[in-house]
């Protein structure tokens, strides 16, 4: 188990530099994907059927990291957190469980939380599904649980079931609803795996001297808490997606038990790959029965279409939980739109996270970014939902490209506007018959073009219609299909 934890930590550290250092970082990045996604990998038919119900077409979800750590915002007793993740506060400050319950959990009271308001914001941003932390690594449940009173209804003055209220609001608004559940890490349980061994006794100072965490204590923790809470979630809520995270020391038979609970309660529920596997894996055919789609690394964007269906868990900032203290940086709207569009043109889903503030409101910086994305989606959603990935031989230097579901329309995402107005599309797999802007603001403006074999030359106006991504719609003489490129 120690070895697995060590390798988890190493991958955690590798994460800190998501783009590998090299003379040509983009090439190194693409090469790492080539190693991880062999060209002949295929999801089993059951996963194909589940993914085709909604997940593949919906493309865009919201990820929510909300918990007792949210009011801390990356600071405890006046000390700011050094690390990137505000949701790691209990571990970063080595807060003993008893103190965490008294000082953090029993003060969690997000009075402004309004599930309908959140759902309305998500819809206006263009998000189609929601994934919220039902239990993060601190072990605290955001739902009513009979397994332990260490949950929002029984352990806080708030006493309301956030998972229930949000599940119902999402379904009322036509959004799919998923939960994040930290199945292995649970810092309220000394028998569960810890990222660093000395943390066990710092967080649980009253442990008997002969206590030793091992495979047996892990199995006991799973049987006592993890499996029963997953059963509660699947029985008491309508769950469309299960997002497991951080598979430290999990065994295949334990993964099978989790999957059995999910599938028995809802055979259509989509499951991510972090039940047993950290994303830096080189995927093997025998692993594919344990998940429906691959969760890429935290904040990782695919370089091109991959042989398996993926989702990029991105965030509006460098943290997932709400963080204002210590190091933190928010993305610009342009960065978010580019990361979103590159993800979708790479055939993946984009799961954009924000951390609600301790009072339960969406923080103003996240809200501003959401409004910007929503405005862009309003004009350009046709180039996102239900699309196929980039059918060109490579990602163009000026942006990216993708294809409509029927294969008859190529969308050119122009992110770097050409100074002379001349845009070259190389490797056109079919003849262009018409070109126009996708935005209704310029829908009647026809774009002049000339195609010589695989080279399509377009003449664009002097200035970009949209400073972040102007979408040009190109009709094709014959329909295309996008194929995996690695
Ligand atoms: O929920 C979010 C993270 O809290 C969670 N995944 C996303 C979606 C996550 N759990 N583990 N990891 C990510 C691996 C990360 C390890 C790190 Fe660290 C956390 C690297 C830096 C901070 C702990 C502290 C390990 C090294 C320093």
pLDDT category, 3, cuts 50, 70, 90?
very low
- Residue with the smallest CA separation from ligand 1 atom 11 is 246
At residue 13, does pLDDT exceed 50? no
CB 15 near ligand 1, within 6 Å: yes
pLDDT tens digits for range 181-213: 999 999 999 999 999 999 999 999 999 999 999
The residue-averaged pLDDT of 473-479 equals: 96
- Residue with the smallest CA separation from ligand 1 atom 8 is 298
At residue 240, does pLDDT exceed 70? yes
Mutating to test ligand 1, I would choose from 94, 246, 313 the residue with most ligand atoms within 8 A of its C-beta, which is: 246
Percent of the chain with pLDDT over 90: 89
d(CA 193, CA 184): 7
Q: Is the dihedral of CA 428, 48, 272, 179 positive or negative?
A: positive
Class of CATH domain 2-383: alpha beta
> What's the mean per-residue pLDDT of the chain?
94
CB 83 near ligand 1, within 6 Å: yes
pLDDT value of position 22: 55
For residues 119-148, b (16+ Cβ closer than 10 Å) or e, as one string? Answer: bebbbebbbbbbbbbbbbbbbbbbbbbeeb
Q: CA Rg, the chain, in Å? A: 23
Long-range contacts of 7-15 (CB under 8 A, 24+ apart): 7/278, 8/195, 8/246, 8/247, 8/248, 8/278, 9/195, 9/196, 11/278, 11/279, 11/280, 12/195, 14/280, 15/297, 15/298, 15/299
CB 400 near ligand 1, within 6 Å: no
DSSP 366-429: HHHHHHHHHHHHHHHGGGTTT-B---SSS--TTEEEEE-TTS-EEEEEE-S--TTSEEEE-S-S
Mutating to test ligand 1, I would choose from 88, 193, 280, 320 the residue with most ligand atoms within 8 A of its C-beta, which is: 88
Q: Is the dihedral of CA 109, 114, 115, 117 positive or negative?
A: negative
In the three-class reduction of DSSP (H, G, I as helix; E, B as strand; rest coil), residue 180 is classed as strand
pLDDT tens digits for range 23-42: 778 888 888 999 999 999 99
- Residue with the smallest CA separation from ligand 1 atom 24 is 83
pLDDT category, 236, cuts 50, 70, 90?
very high
CB 69 near ligand 1, within 6 Å: no
Class of CATH domain 399-476: mainly beta
| 298 Cα to the center of ligand 1, angstroms | 8
Please check whether residue 308 is in contact with residue 36, taking contact to mean a CB–CB distance below 8 angstroms.
no
Q: Residue 317 — φ and ψ, nearest 5°?
A: -135, -175
At residue 274, does pLDDT exceed 60? yes
pLDDT tens digits for range 318-334: 999 999 999 999 999 99
- Residue with the smallest CA separation from ligand 1 atom 9 is 246
pLDDT category, 18, cuts 50, 70, 90?
very low
At residue 76, does pLDDT exceed 50? yes
pLDDT category, 443, cuts 50, 70, 90?
confident
pLDDT value of position 485: 59
CB 277 near ligand 1, within 6 Å: no
CATH 3.20.20.80 domain residues, the chain? 2-383
d(CA 367, CA 316): 10
Q: Between residues 1 and 404, which one has the greater pLDDT?
A: 404
CATH 2.60.40.1180 domain residues, the chain? 399-476
């Amino acid at each position: 188990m120690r070895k697995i934890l060590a390798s988890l930590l190493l991958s955690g550290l590798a994460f800190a530099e998501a783009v590998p250092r090299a003379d040509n970082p983009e090439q190194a990045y693409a090469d790492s994907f080539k190693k991880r996604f062999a060209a002949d990998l295929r999801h089993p038919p059951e996963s194909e059927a589940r993914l085709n119900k909604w997940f593949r077409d919906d493309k865009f979800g919201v990820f929510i990291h909300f918990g007792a750590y949210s009011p801390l915002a990356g600071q405890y007793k006046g000390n700011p957190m050094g690390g990137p993740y505000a949701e790691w506060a209990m571990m970063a400050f080595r807060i003993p469980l008893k103190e965490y319950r008294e000082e953090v959990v029993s003060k969690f009271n997000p009075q402004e939380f309004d599930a309908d308001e959140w759902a309305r914001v998500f819809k206006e941003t263009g998000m189609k599904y929601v994934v919220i932390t039902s239990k993060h690594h601190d072990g605290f449940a955001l739902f009513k649980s009979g397994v332990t009173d260490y949950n929002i209804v029984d352990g806080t003055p708030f006493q309301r079931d956030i998972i229930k209220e949000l599940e119902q609001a999402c379904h009322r608004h036509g959004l799919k609803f998923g939960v994040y559940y930290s199945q292995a890490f649970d810092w309220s349980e000394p028998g569960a795996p810890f990222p660093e061994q000395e943390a066990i006794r710092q967080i649980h100072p009253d442990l008997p001297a002969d206590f030793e965490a091992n495979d047996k204590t892990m199995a006991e923790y799973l049987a006592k808490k993890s499996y029963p809470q997953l059963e509660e979630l699947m029985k008491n809520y309508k769950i469309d997606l299960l997002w497991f995270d951080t598979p430290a020391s999990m065994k295949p038979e334990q993964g099978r038990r989790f999957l059995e609970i999910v599938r028995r309660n809802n055979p259509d529920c989509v499951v991510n790959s972090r039940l047993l596997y950290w994303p830096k894996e080189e995927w093997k055919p025998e692993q594919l029965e344990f998940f429906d789609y691959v969760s890429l690394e935290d904040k990782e964007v695919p370089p091109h279409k991959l042989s398996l269906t993926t989702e990029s868990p991105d965030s509006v900032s460098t943290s997932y939980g709400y963080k204002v203290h210590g190091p933190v940086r928010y993305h610009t709207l342009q960065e978010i739109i580019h990361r979103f569009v590159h993800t979708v043109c790479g055939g993946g889903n984009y799961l954009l996270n924000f951390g609600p503030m301790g009072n339960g409101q969406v923080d103003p910086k996240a809200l501003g970014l959401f409004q910007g994305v929503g405005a862009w989606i309003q004009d350009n959603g046709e180039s996102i939902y239900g699309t196929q990935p980039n059918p060109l031989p490579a990602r163009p230097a000026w942006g990216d490209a993708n294809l409509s579901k029927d294969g008859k329309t190529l969308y050119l995402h122009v992110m770097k506007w050409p100074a002379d107005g001349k845009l070259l599309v190389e490797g056109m797999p079919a003849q262009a018959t018409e070109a126009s802007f996708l935005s209704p603001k310029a829908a009647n403006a026809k774009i002049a073009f000339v195609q010589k074999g695989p080279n399509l030359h377009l003449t664009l106006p002097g200035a970009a219609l949209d400073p972040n991504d102007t979408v040009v719609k190109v009709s094709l003489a014959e329909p295309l299909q996008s194929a995996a490129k690695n």
